[in-house]
Structure 1
Amino acid sequence: MQTNPDVHVHAEIRGRVGCLTLARPKALNALSLAMIRDLTAALLSWREDPQVLAVAIRGTGKEGPFGAFCAGGDIRFFHQSALSGDPALEDFFTEEYALNHLIHTYPKPYIALMDGICMGGGMGISQGASLRIVTERSKLAMPETNIGLFPDVGGGYFLSRCDGHLGEYLGLTGRVLAGADAVSAGLADALVDSGRLVALWESLGETPFETGEAVERWCLTHKHRETPRAPWSATEVDRVFGLASVPAIVEALEADASDWARETAAILRQRSPLMLHVVLEQIRRARGMSLAQDLRMERNLVRHCFHTRHLQRQGVSSETVEGIRALAVDKDHQPQWNPARIEDVSPEMVEGFFSEPWPAWAHPLAHLD
Structure 2
Amino acid sequence: MEDEVLFEVKQGWGIITLNRPKAFNALTWNMCRLMLARLKEWATDDSVRAILIKGAGEKAFCAGGDIRWLYEESKTDPQGAADFFRTEYNLNSLIHHYPKPYIALLHGVIMGGGVGVSISASARIVSDNVTWAMPETGIGMVPDVGGSYFLPRLGGGLGLYLALTGHRLNGPDSVYTGIATHHVPYTRFEELETALVGLGAEALAQSTIDDCIAAFDAPEDIALKESRPQIDQQFGAADGVRGIVDSLEKEGGGFAEKALQSLKRMSPIALELTFEELRRGAEMTFDECLVMEFAIVRKIMEGPDFHEGVRAQIIDKDRNPKWSPDSLAAVTGDLVAPYFADLGDSRLLIDHGLQR
Q: What TM-score range do you get, normalising by the shorter chain?
A: over 0.9
Change (3 A) 1:343 1:239: same
Deviation at 1:212, TM superposition (A): 2.7
Distance 1:143 1:176 in 2: 8
Gaps of 5+ in 1: 308-313
- Displacement of 1:88: 4.1
Matches within 5 A, 1:121-160: 121-160=113-152
Counterpart AA for 1:199: E
**What's the CA shift for 1:281?**
0.5
- Residue 294 of structure 2 aligns with which residue? 299
Distance in 1 separating the partners of 2:219 and 2:160: 29
3-state SS in 2 of match to 1:150: coil
Assess if the C-alpha contact under 8 Å between 1:184 and 1:229 holds in 2. Answer: no
2:186 paired residue number: 194
1:279 maps onto 2:269 in alignment: no
Task: Measure the CA separation in 1 of the matches of 2:54 and 2:351.
Answer: 29
Q: How does 1:11-26 map to 2 (within 5 A)?
A: 11-26=7-22
The structural deviation recorded for 1:235 is: 2.5
Q: By how many angstroms is 1:251 displaced? A: 1.0
Deviations 1:23-47 (A, max 9, x none): 1011100000011111112211111
5 Å matches for 1:322-337? Answer: 322-337=308-323
2:340 to 354, 359, 362: 354
Q: For the Cα contact (< 8 Å) 1:15–1:204, is it kept in 2?
A: no
* Deviation of 1:17 (Å): 0.8
Secondary structure of the equivalent of 2:224? coil
User: 2 CA distance for matches of 1:248 and 1:291?
Assistant: 28
Given that 1:54 and 1:215 are in contact with CA atoms closer than 8 Å, whether structure 2 keeps it comes out as no
The correspondence for 1:244, drawn from 231, 239, 244, is 239
Paired AA for residue 356 in structure 1: D
Give the Cα separation in 2 of the matches to 1:35 and 1:51.
Answer: 23
Matching of residue 35 in structure 1 with residue 31 in structure 2: yes
* Deviation of the 1:351 alpha carbon: 1.4
Name which of structure 1's ranges 113-122 and 209-218 shifts more when overlaid on structure 2: 209-218
Q: 1:125, CA displacement in angstroms?
A: 0.5
Shift, 1:207, TM fit:
3.0
Task: Please state if 1:177 is matched with 2:173.
Answer: no
Q: Which residue of 2 aligns with 1:104?
A: 96
Once the two structures are TM-superposed, the CA of residue 48 in structure 1 deviates from its matched residue by: 0.9
> Is the Cα contact below 8 Å between 1:109 and 1:216 reproduced in 2?
no
Deviations 1:319-357 (A, max 9, x none): 111111111111111111011112221111111211112
Where does residue 347 of structure 2 map in the other structure? 363
- Residue identity in the other structure for 1:365: L
* Aligned mate of 1:211, from 190, 204, 208: 204
Question: Aligned AA for 1:211?
Answer: L
**Equivalents in 2 of 1:301, 1:264: separation in Å?**
25
SS in 2 for 1:97: helix
Whole-angstrom CA distance in 1 between matches of 2:164 and 2:289: 17
Distance 1:357 1:43 in 2: 28
Shift of 1:15: 0.8
Match of 1:321 in 2: 307
In structure 1, the residue corresponding to 2:65 is in which secondary structure?
A: coil
Check the 8 A contact 2:73/2:80 in 1, yes or no: yes
CA contact (8 A) 2:90 2:351 kept: no
The answer for the alignment partner of 1:311 in structure 2 is none
- For residues 83 and 268 of structure 1, the distance between their equivalents in structure 2, rounded to whole angstroms, comes to 26
Gaps of 5+ in 2: none
Aligned residues: CA RMSD:
1.7
Deviation at 1:219, TM superposition (A): 2.1
Normalising by structure 1, report the TM-score.
0.91
- Greater mean deviation of Cα atoms: 89-98 or 24-33: 89-98
Q: Which residue of 2 aligns with 1:310?
A: none
CA contact (8 A) 1:14 1:204 kept: no
Higher relative contact order (CA 8 A, sep 6+): 2
Q: Indicate yes or no: 2:329 matched with 1:340.
A: no
Range moving further from structure 2, 95-104 or 83-92: 83-92
% same residue: 38
Q: Which amino acid aligns with 2:348?
A: P
Alignment deviations for residues 111-162 of structure 1 (CA, whole Å, 9 cap, x no partner): 0111110001100000010000001101101000010000000011010110
Aligned match of 2:74 in 79, 82, 99?
Answer: 82
- Verify: 1:258 aligned to 2:253, yes or no: yes
Residues 269 and 342, structure 1, Cα contact 8 Å, conserved in 2: no
What's the TM-score, normalizing by structure 2? 0.94
Q: 1:250 to 1:87 in 2, by over 3 A?
A: closer
Deviation at 1:227, TM superposition (A): 7.7
SS at match of 2:61: coil
